[in-house]
Each structure stands twice: as C-alpha cells, then as structure tokens.
Amino acid sequence: QVQLAESGGGLVQAGGSLTLSCKFVGPIFGYYAVAWFRRAPGKEREIVAAVSRGGTVRRYADSVKGRFTVSRNNDEKTVLLRMNRLAPADTAIYYCAAHNTIAGVIPTRDYEHWGQGTQVTVSS
C-alpha cells in the first residue's frame, strides 16, 4: 500500500524560500511519477511541478518556472520541492501525488495516491 507524507510547510515572508518534502512509503517507488499540486483559498487545485519516475523529465506550471525546483531521490523515496522567491500568491495547501506510469511520462491529472497536504503561507 502506498502512502505519501508531506512536510516542510510553514509561514514565510515574501521573497523567502521553503523546501517541501514528500516521503513515499510502499513498494517500487521508481515506478511512480510524482507531482506537487496546490490549492489556494477559493481556487481550484493546480499542478505546480512534477517529475518522471526516473527523474529525467520535469514539468512546471508557468507561474513557478524559474522559482521552484522539483527533485527526487529514489534510494530515499523522497521528492523535494524547493521554492524560492515566494510570493503571497503562492499561499496554498501543497499536496504531493504519485502515479504508477511508464518512464518519461508525467500525468497532469488523475493521480492514484495523495498525501494529506502541508500549508504554505507567504506574508507580504
């Protein structure tokens, strides 16, 4: 059974940085693409960043390109989201999600497994 646990959220001032961590529990982490989603108050959930199962392909939402970096360590079964130059618009609950897929493919929706989320609040 797959479980995901996010950590690293918190309160930060605009312009600051945070690193979120997603810990994967279960078999064969290397079969799963992993994505970070976020849901801001009053808005729909959106995909922020994602990494393929081998780590060779990465995708970012336009709103975070150049500021956020997603990385994974398959030995440690973790995925990190490094967030720099944070802005109040980045305030949201951040979720990691995993989907069993083939190499090089990053789904944009319909992920199988989800974490509980971690709150990120950016003050102005």
Which pLDDT score, from 0 to 100, does residue 118 have? 98
Which pLDDT score, from 0 to 100, does residue 55 have? 93
Round the average pLDDT of the chain to a whole number and report it: 96
Q: Is the pLDDT of residue 16 over 90?
A: yes
| Cβ atoms < 10 Å from Cβ of 6 | 22
Which pLDDT score, from 0 to 100, does residue 122 have? 98
